[in-house]
């Protein structure tokens, strides 16, 4: 792209078209597109028809989002766009996060293609996904959105987390670094106990303790601040593909 949309970008579009590449030229260049992104996202109104996929850590919120998208639901996967799973263990390990502007661009590009008379499903996140800030209009919409709350037993959640975070588990230094990010939030003794579990390879117990002692209390405090009841509760008894397909079908119906 050309910053000003001048002769260079037009010349490149002509050359690429001549050898078979589909091209388009934006009048005004990237700055015009950027103004469109800002106008669409850096505002308070109108709110978007967001429905939050909420639930404690390990309930498969992202998996449900993907199942909804596969069945034709309108989905914004913020963790996918931000290349981060949104917690101390969220680093994907396969590259840096996109720049804030690129994160906003890709978010707006998806939203502008949607039918905003229908629900848009978004996973409940904090205002930051890793180091990327959720755009203002979307964040305000998330704060006001009705919640779909996922329930799942602790044991099933622990097994699911071990599978989901297999990439971090496979790299001992990454796992230790992620646990280390909780220093100052958890006691020194607790951190040492979790590092010991990681060193012993007892990842299921590590997941259980992380949820019981850290993430579940955080979720409980966050839910208390909202003081609203979920519009729908999804009781998950398993974490297989068919389980999430069935839950997605239930919501879309």
Q: Is residue 141 part of a domain?
A: yes
pLDDT for the residue 3: 57
| Average pLDDT over all residues of the chain | 91
pTM of the model: 0.87
Q: Are 34 and 150 in a shared domain?
A: no
State yes or no: pLDDT of 1 exceeds 70: no
Residue 214: give the domain boundaries: 50-252
What tens digit of pLDDT does each residue of 129-174 get? Answer: 999 999 999 999 999 999 999 999 999 999 999 999 998 899 999 9
State yes or no: pLDDT of 42 exceeds 80: yes
Q: Are 156 and 96 in a shared domain?
A: yes
Q: What is the CATH number of the domain that holds 143?
A: 3.40.50
- Report how far Cα 235 is from the mean position of its chain's Cα atoms: 21
pLDDT for the residue 24: 85
Q: Are 61 and 179 in a shared domain?
A: yes
Q: Per-residue confidence at 2, pLDDT binned at 50, 70, 90?
A: low
Question: Do residues 107 and 138 lie in contact, with contact meaning Cβ atoms separated by under 8 Å?
Answer: yes
What tens digit of pLDDT does each residue of 196-251 get? Answer: 999 999 999 999 999 999 999 988 887 777 778 899 999 999 999 999 999 999 99
Q: How far is CA 220 from CA 54, 77, 212, 229, in A?
A: 12, 23, 11, 13
Structural element, H or E, at residue 204: helix 203-210
State yes or no: pLDDT of 73 exceeds 60: yes
Q: Is residue 1 part of a domain?
A: no
Q: Are 182 and 145 in a shared domain?
A: yes
Q: Indicate left, alpha or beta for 100 from its phi (over 0: left) and psi (-120 to 50: alpha).
A: alpha
Question: How many domains is the chain partitioned into structurally?
Answer: 2
What tens digit of pLDDT does each residue of 77-132 get? Answer: 999 999 998 777 777 666 689 999 999 999 999 999 999 999 999 999 999 999 99
Catalytic machinery residues? 2
State yes or no: pLDDT of 72 exceeds 60: yes
pLDDT for the residue 100: 96
Query: Closest by alpha carbon to 171, among 97, 91, 239?
Result: 91
Nearest-angstrom CA–CA distance, 76 and 137? 13
pLDDT for the residue 31: 84
């Amino acid at each position: 792209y050309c910053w000003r949309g001048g002769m260079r970008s037009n010349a490149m579009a002509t050359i690429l078209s001549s050898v078979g590449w589909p091209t388009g030229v934006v009048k005004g260049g990237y700055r015009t597109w950027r103004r469109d992104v800002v106008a669409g996202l850096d505002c308070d109104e109108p709110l978007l028809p967001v429905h939050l996929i909420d639930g404690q850590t390990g309930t498969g919120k992202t998996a449900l989002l993907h199942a909804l998208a596969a069945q034709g639901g309108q989905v914004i996967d913020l963790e996918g766009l931000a290349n981060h799973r949104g917690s101390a263990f969220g680093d994907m390990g396969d590259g840096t996060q996109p720049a804030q502007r690129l994160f906003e661009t890709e978010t707006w590009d998806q939203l502008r293609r949607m039918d905003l008379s229908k629900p848009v499903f978004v996973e409940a996140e904090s205002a930051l996904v890793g180091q990327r800030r959720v755009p203002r209009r979307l964040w305000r919409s998330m704060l006001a959105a009705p919640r779909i709350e996922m329930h799942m037993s602790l044991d099933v959640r622990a097994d699911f987390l071990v599978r989901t975070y297999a990439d971090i588990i496979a790299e001992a230094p990454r796992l230790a670094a992620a646990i280390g990010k909780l220093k100052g939030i958890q006691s020194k003794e607790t951190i040492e106990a979790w590092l010991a579990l990681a060193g012993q390879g007892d990842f299921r117990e590590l997941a259980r303790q992380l949820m019981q002692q850290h993430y579940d209390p955080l979720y409980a405090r966050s839910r208390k601040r909202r003081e609203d009841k979920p519009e729908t509760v999804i009781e998950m008894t398993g974490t297989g593909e068919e389980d999430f397909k069935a839950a997605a079908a239930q919501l879309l119906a």
